[in-house]
Amino acid sequence: MDLPQTMDSKFRFILIAAKRARQLQAGAKPLVQTQTKKVTKVAQMEVEAGLVPYEIFGPTGENGDKETKSKSAK
């Protein structure tokens, strides 16, 4: 498994791919064309291609606001 340059850790990659795999299992349409029918592999391919948007929530600031970093599709 190659970690995309935009990912900061393997743990985050797996969490995002797992959530996307659950969406695919529930009937969501794949965002990539592939021969495989395995939802986990399709989800990993989508995340590697940068097609799955996600947000990183940072620590809570002094005034109670959360800092966020948004990652989206290319």
**Choice between 5 and 47, residue whose per-residue pLDDT is larger:** 47
pTM of the shown model:
0.76
pLDDT for the residue numbered 11: 93
Higher pLDDT, 18 or 3: 18
Confidence of residue 64 (pLDDT cuts 50, 70, 90): low
- Confidence category of residue 47, pLDDT binned at 50, 70, 90: very high
Enumerate domains of the chain plus CATH numbers: 10-56+64-71 (3.90.940)
Residue 66: predicted pLDDT: 61
Question: Does the pLDDT at position 1 exceed 90?
Answer: no
Cβ neighbours for 34, distance < 8 A, ≥ 6 positions apart:
41, 42, 45
